[in-house]
Structure formats: C-alpha cells, structure tokens
A and B are shown apart, each in its own frame.
Chain A
Amino acid sequence: MNVIEFNNLTKYYGDVKGCENVNIQIKEGEIFGFIGPNGAGKSTTIRTMLSLIYPTSGSVTVFGKDAIEFGHEVRKDIGYLPSEIFYYDKMKVIDLLNYSASFYDHDCTEKIHELAEIMELDLTRKIQDLSYGNKKKVGIVQGLLHSPKLLILDEPTSGLDPLMQQKFFNLISEENKKGATVFFSSHILSEVQQLCDRVAIIKDGEIVKIQDVKELQTDNYKKFKITGLSLNHSKFGIEGVTQLVESEEEVTFFFKGDINEIVKILSTLKLKDVIIEEPTLEEIFMHYYE
C-alpha cells in the first residue's frame, strides 16, 4: 500500500514556483529520503502534504485520503518535525507536550517521559529558555509522542550534536521497525545514505530522480583516477564520461556505461596506477546539479 502519493503536485506562490509536477509514491514501512539544496522546494512539498498551504494543481493523498480535504483526519497519524521549531515561548516543555497530546485520542504520558529520557530533555524548563538544539529535542518528542504511523521530518538533524543525532536515528529506525513510514527531507546526503531505502532528488521544484539508495551508488557511476605518463591525448572523450579532468600525469572522470570500453582505452596507455571507486552520494548528487 502507498502511504503517500503525490499526483502532479504543483505549487506556485504567485509567479514564483514552489514545486511542479511532483509525482512520488511512498510505500508503507519505507524510509524515504527527499534530497535537495535549500530552496529546491522540499518544505513547500511537505507543507502542502500537511495542508498548511494549498496546491495550485495536483493532489496529495495520505493513507489513501486526500490530504487537503481530510487533513485533520490524516494528521492524527502523522508526526511532523519542522526544520525550524517554534512553540509558545512562555509554556513549560511538559505543558506544551501535554497540550499537544490533548489533541490525540489516546494517552501519551508514558511515551512522553520515555522519549524525554532518551533525548535527555528537561521537561520542567520554559520553551523560551531553551537552546536551538534543545528546542529541536522538544520537537522530536512532540513529533513522536502519539506513536504516528507516518513521520515527516524536515531537515531534522540541524542543531543536534552527533551523539544526539545518533540517538535520534536509532529512535527513527525503531519506529520504522514498529511499522512507521518515514519521509525524511534533508540536504545532508550522508544521513540519508545511512537511513533511507529510497530517495527522491528535487531540483528547482522538480523531481529529477527517484531511486534506491543502493542503486544510486552502485549501478550508476564509477569514479576513475588514473595516473601514468603522457596521458593527455583526449582519449577519454567517449560517451558516458563526465567531469573529465586531464593532465599529463593524471586523469579523473566519472563513467557510466560499458566498463570494457574504458578497459580498452586503458590497455593502450602506460599506467602507474588505476583507482576505480564508488562515488559518494555527494558526488552523484552534484552530478544532478551541474
């Protein structure tokens, strides 16, 4: 079953494009990454899904229901962690969490304390006295306290120290094992790589690629670094080669295609060393943003 379906979702703010023709299907139990630089349309897409803003055209369904029309119903099972956390400043953390919990049908007290303990969050402090990172922790507890079936995380790790990040990732993985679907938006690729099954890449408001995280790394590009003597004869200008940098002693490039083609060329050269690597997600990602 698809938990989220974006169907040709388009959002314009006046003349300014937020996102255009977004089509993504996210399956139940999946951890889905959503990658793009700042301003690519990640938050716009997410906010439409939560009916904070309304689509110009197209639609989003969550749990099989229209996310706009049945927004309040689907939000019962959604936990949302926004990229920037703003709560009522004068409230105490525990009061805010209880207030949030009062909107759900079941008792969340136990879960609140359990989560606060894991995230080392002081429940007695006022929101306005909290640091950025601590506010983020409140956000995490608030997003998870009702044991949602769908977690929407918008750049969740900013402000968290590496230790907390790890704890947070463990929490997410655990929720996922219990059956929660996760929609994880980020511009930090390593964390997406660590956590996600599939990933959509968004650029200028449009989805450029949806792929398995593993596939994205293995089946695509290889990174070549060749060292030797008098290599600069433009021999690598064949189809499938990108980001070619040639000099007499060293040649580097990315290659996608039949590996034998490259081996043929290599056999004609006098080499010192050949390194063939999996590109990092960052490098693949940069490729989409050339």
Chain B
Amino acid sequence: MNIIKRELRSNLKALIIWMCSISLVIFAASAEFGAFRDNPEIMEAMEGFEVMFQALGGSVTNMSTPEGFLSLMSIYLYLPLSIYGALLGSSIISKEERDRTAEYLFTLPIKRSQVLKRKIIAALIYQTFFVFYILLACTVFFSRYGLDSNFYSFIRYMFVGLTFISYIFMFIGMMLSSILKQYKKSGSITLAILIGTYMLNMLVGIVEELEFLKYVIPFQYFEVNEMLSGNIEVIFVLLSLLIIGSCVGAVFHFYRKRDLYI
C-alpha cells in the first residue's frame, strides 16, 4: 500500500497539469463546435474539404453532431492521453535508477516483483482516472448542445478505445525502461514510437494500399466511424490485450532478473 500511495503522491502534480491543459483543449473544441453548428455557411464551405475529412477518418456530415465532432478531433484526445501514458509508464519504472534511489528502495525487505506490481497499480489508477476525466470533461463541455443516446454510446466506445490505446503506450514505456540498458532514454524512445505510429496513421488514412499496416498502428485499432455506429472490432481488442500482456510479461521477466544500474 505504501508504495502505491507514494507513487500516487509523487505523480499527482503532473496529472493535474495534464488535466488542466486537456480541459482547455476540450473547452476550445466545444466552443468551436458551437460556432460551426449555428452557421450553415461554414458547413457548406467545409463540404469542399471532404477528402481531408476522409484522411482524418471521418466525414463532413460528422460536423453537425457533438459525437461526430468529437470523433473528428478524437486524435487530439488520443495523442495527449497516450503521451501522458508513455511518460508515466517509462518514468515510474526508470526513475528509481535515474534518481539513484534504487539502492534505497530495493534494499528494503520487498521483492522486486512486488514493487513492480504496486507501481503498475499506481500507474493504472492514474491512467484510468485520466481517461474518465477526459470523457467527463467532454460530456460536461458539450452538454449545452443537448446530448442524446448516440453521444453517450459513442462516449462508452471512446472509453474502451482511449483506455486500450493509452495502456498500450504506458506498458510499452514500462517495458522499455525495464529492458533497455539506456533506461533514461525509454521515455523518448516510447514517444518516438508514438509519434511514428501517429505519422503512419495519417499516411494510412490517405494511401489505401497501406491498409495492412493498421495492425501495427494502435491509433487505427478503434476507428471512430465504427464507434459512431456502435461497433468495435474484436480482433483489435484481442490485439491490444496481446500487446499489453506481452509488455507486462516482459516487465516482470526482465526487471526482476537484471542488475540494477546504480
């Protein structure tokens, strides 16, 4: 319990900062949506950009409903949430060696695997809380436009999508800081993977021949259009679970057996 509490306390400040900035993003989006919705001329003008919308994985018709609008800007929820997860995951493991506190923590009467378990629980608590917070903020900021059951259904699917994607990057971060000799770089390498897959994601949206790549791009796993129509492909849920499971396995396997860098 004590380790979980300590981790929660030491990571609280970062979480609050992230929550504040994402609130701003969602608030701005909701204001923007208000402007579009009340102005049919803008909507008409937007129809000219149908190709661009398709690249983003959407359609211009999405612009008229709150859930449709959210689906268009969903990458701006996925990205910060995943970046937060990547940084949290990699730092929660590597910081003990980076700050040279490993020599203290791991000479206490506790197994390495127990430390890892508690750190993972702490990270999961914050990551999940952040997902909840984002969706709550979306609901609150968009509530003035009258929300129907379609919106809440979309939010439920978004919860699944956001949770899985951000867990994936969080656990990749944890895995890299457990495996890499250059544990200090685990954060930046995880971010590089994240940005890389995001770029690919954009590319796959435009170039149809690259469709097969979608299995290695977490951002492609939970397509917003599918979610709008109340669908999630089970294969990608399984794939996400597989990635997360392998990362957790790797964390325990490698971190328990390796020399700590002191």
Contacts and interface: CB of A to CB of B under 8 A. Distances in A.
B149 interface: no
A53 B31 CA distance: 56
A52 B107 contact: yes
Contact of B111 (A54, A72, A80): A72
Contact of B101 (A76, A78, A87): A87
Interface string B103-144: 110111111001000000000000000000000000000000
A63 B107 CA distance: 16
B207 interface: no
A179 B30 CA distance: 70
A86 B104 contact: yes
Contact of B106 (A13, A52, A88): A52
Given A52-B259, A86-B100, A89-B99, A78 B10 contact: no
B262 A99 contact: no
A47 interface: yes
Nearest to B106: A52
A87 B100 CA distance: 8
Q: How large is the interface on A (under 10, 10 to 19, 20 to 34, 35 or more residues)?
A: 20 to 34
Contacts of A57: none
A71 B100 contact: no
B2 A103 contact: yes
A50 interface: yes
A87 B104 contact: yes
Contacts of A75: 107-110
Contact of A86 (B99, B114, B258): B99
Interface string B205-227: 00000000000000000000000
B73 interface: no
Contact of B109 (A53, A82, A104, A142): A104
A13 B110 CA distance: 25
A102 interface: yes
A100 to B, nearest CB: 7
21 contacts: A13-B259, A47-B262, A52-B107, A52-B260, A52-B262, A53-B260, A53-B262, A54-B259, A75-B107, A75-B108, A76-B109, A80-B107, A82-B103, A84-B100, A86-B100, A86-B104, A88-B99, A88-B101, A99-B2, A103-B2, A104-B109
Interface of B: 2, 6, 10, 99-104, 106-111, 114, 257-260, 262
